[in-house]
Amino acid sequence: MTEKEKCRQGLLYDANYDRELLAERERAKELLYDYNRLRPSQYTEKTDLLRSLLGKVGKQVIIEPPFNCDYGYNIEVGENFYANVNLVILDGAKVTIGDNAFIAPNVGIYTAGHPLDAERRNQGLEYAYPIRIGNNVWIGAHSVILPGVTIGDHVVIGAGSVVTKDIPSYSLAVGNPCRVIRSLEAMEK
């Protein structure tokens, strides 16, 4: 079984020394280098580069530079997607973001994690669990989304939150660790 296959199954895999994964990350870094250096007025070039990098892109997508990710092909964003500056997505596993998602500055979406024991961690092993973010979601500035989390539809994540567990639809959730503080269902209707 290849390291990439192990990764896709949620097993520990060698992310630091496997040649296939290193080459795929280098390809993404080359595209990101170009993307992050485009002039603000180069909308067409930005969109074209995002379509080359990401696994799926809706018709309207804006990611303000700088933007960084590991592979790119594991990221799928829906229609009317906006991310402000300094978005980081570590996409060892799939990251799916629905329609009408808005992401504030300095947000990190991390599918990757490492073993707690130093011996395996020092071998370059890690795991990756998918993240799903629903439709009509707003993620506040400096928030962190951790491996394996699902955020439902019509959710607001408050600034500075660390999302360690699933957040149900129609929720306002904040804090470290992030927790639901109220329902937004009545407001949406």
The kind and range of the H/E element at 187 are helix 185-188
Asked whether 92 and 72 are in contact (CB, 8 A), the reply is no
CA distance linking residue 102 with residue 80, whole number of Å: 9
Model confidence pLDDT, tens digit, residues 18-61:
999 999 999 999 999 999 999 999 999 999 999 999 999 999 99
**189 pLDDT more than 60:** no
154 carries an active-site annotation: no
Which of 125, 104, 45, 111 is closest to 76 using CA atoms? Answer: 111
Query: Which one is catalytic: 4, 25, 114, 179?
Result: 114
Count the domains in the chain: 1
Model confidence pLDDT, tens digit, residues 75-122:
999 999 999 999 999 999 999 999 999 999 999 999 999 999 999 999
Q: Which domain holds residue 136?
A: 3-188
Q: What is the CATH number of the domain that holds 65?
A: 2.160.10.10
Give the helix, strand, coil percentages of the chain, each rounded to 5: 25, 30, 45
Q: What is the reported pTM?
A: 0.95
The kind and range of the H/E element at 113 are strand 112-113
For residue 74, give Cα distances in angstroms to 24, 53, 105, 135.
11, 9, 21, 18
